Every structure is written in structure tokens, then in C-alpha cells.
Amino acid sequence: DAKTTQPPSMDCAEGRAANLPCNHSTISGNEYVYWYRQIHSQGPQYIIHGLKNNETNEMASLIITEDRKSSTLILPHATLRDTAVYYCIVSVAGNQGGKLIFGQGTELSVKP
């Protein structure tokens, strides 16, 4: 599986957009970009995934560069409850044998 690189920590002011970057320069053509987050003492939570097009759901937006070597997760209006560790993972789809290999992630602190 391709590896990802994320900054270890970031701060964001409450109400502002949080932009979390991820580098995945060795991603393969059939690998998706997945984002999960883990709030303290809870199991990880799925956020969003994409292949090459930008994606948006009720939680976040995912922007993938045209060459697919990097992506950005955007939380449009961060709240204190968004404080968590955010993981960017690249993998093939589950029906192709994909599995999630977690790196160290980015610890996002949303401050009042």
C-alpha cells in the first residue's frame, strides 16, 4: 500500500476552516484516498473518500490534486468537537482486498 505523509499537528480557530494536507506521491491508479478521524477514547470515524474527483459530504470536502499526489481535507467551519487525530490513508477498495493501514495522522486542535 502507498504511504502518506501528514503534519503531526495543526491548530485551528473555532468557526474557521480547517485545511489538513496529505502527501501520497506513490499512490497507484486504483487506490482511493480515505480520511478517518479519531476523537479521544473513541474508535475511528469514517469521514470521506475519493479517487480523483473532489468530493463533498455533510462532514467535509476532499480536494485531490490533478496528479493525485496530494490531497486536502477541509472542515469548513471547525468546532471544538472536531478536535481529533485525522488520518489520511490510501488503499484500493474493500471489494478489491483493500485494508486500512494507519499512519501517525495529524492531531488537530480547534481552539476557542
Partner 1 sequence: SAVISQKPSRDICQRGTSLTIQCQVDSQVTMMFWYRQQPGQSLTLIATANQGSEATYESGFVIDKFPISRPNLTFSTLTVSNMSPEDSSIYLCSAGTDYEQYFGPGTRLTVT
What is the smallest separation between the CB atom of 39 and partner 1, expressed in angstroms? 11
- Binding residues (CB under 8 A) for partner 1: these are 32, 34, 36, 38, 42-46, 49, 85, 87, 93-95, 99-105
Nearer to partner 1, 82 or 86 (CB): 86
The residue type at 28: S
Nearer to partner 1, 79 or 96 (CB): 96
What is the smallest separation between the CB atom of 94 and partner 1, expressed in angstroms? 5
Bridge-based pairing of strands 61-64 and 55-56 is antiparallel
Nearer to partner 1, 80 or 101 (CB): 101
Nearer to partner 1, 22 or 87 (CB): 87
What is the smallest separation between the CB atom of 101 and partner 1, expressed in angstroms? 6
Task: Please name which of 94, 82, 97, 93 lies closest in space to residue 20, comparing C-alpha atoms.
Answer: 82
The residue ranges of DSSP E strands in the chain, in sequence order, are: 9-13, 18-23, 32-38, 45-50, 55-56, 61-64, 70-75, 84-91, 106-111
